[in-house]
Amino acid sequence: MTERPVRVAVLVSGGGTNLQALLDALQSSPVARVARVISSRPNAGALDRARRAAVPTTVLRDPNDANELQTALGDAQLVVLAGYLKLVPASVVARFRGRMINIHPALLPDFGGPGMYGHRVHEAVLASRAKESGATVHFVDEEFDRGAIIAQEKVPVQPGDDAETLAARVLEAEHRLLPRVVLDLARRIA
């Protein structure tokens, strides 16, 4: 393959385990590579993961500033929100329409929207007495967790689960699902 791998920008706010799954999966891929990591928080653990992998990082001064985010994204061809807790400005969504995705720790359209992240999601799933949960990768649009669903991986809700045990099982599904979707999309973009 003589073409360059698709340049992936990853937007983060937290510890970066999904970023790590991408870094590991794409490390020697001819299809896609993590080209930059952009954080809404200066102390996000994901930044350390990116630096250890020698991936350039940017910390946004104002995550709501569309121009700042556009500049940080640079020549990215695919944008992945991996634990990014900010709403992406509409002009940035428009620039990357069909090339910006998010991973969510539940089976959308349920258990999504503003404020639905982290343990809040898993607590809501348990409170609903749902029999299954899982991970969803969807396209990003102008609202939280409303873009078209690309792929999902289901996991059972076990008797005796609490938010922590369910979160661990869902996170394993996220780590399998996200790299697979990124590679599939990168093949289409290339």
Active site residues: 104
Distances (CA, A) of 133 to 49, 92, 130, 175: 28, 30, 7, 15
Of 23, 63, 71, the residue nearest 47 (C-alpha): 23
Place of tokens 């409303």: 146
Largest CA distance in the chain: 52
Residue spans of alpha helices (H) in 27-162: 45-52, 66-73, 90-95, 119-128
Close Cβ partners of 131 (under 8 Å, ≥ 6 residues apart):
156, 157
Question: What is the identity of the amino acid at 47?
Answer: L
For residue 139, how far is the Cα from the chain centroid? 10
* Contact call for residues 50 and 37 (beta carbons, < 8 A): yes
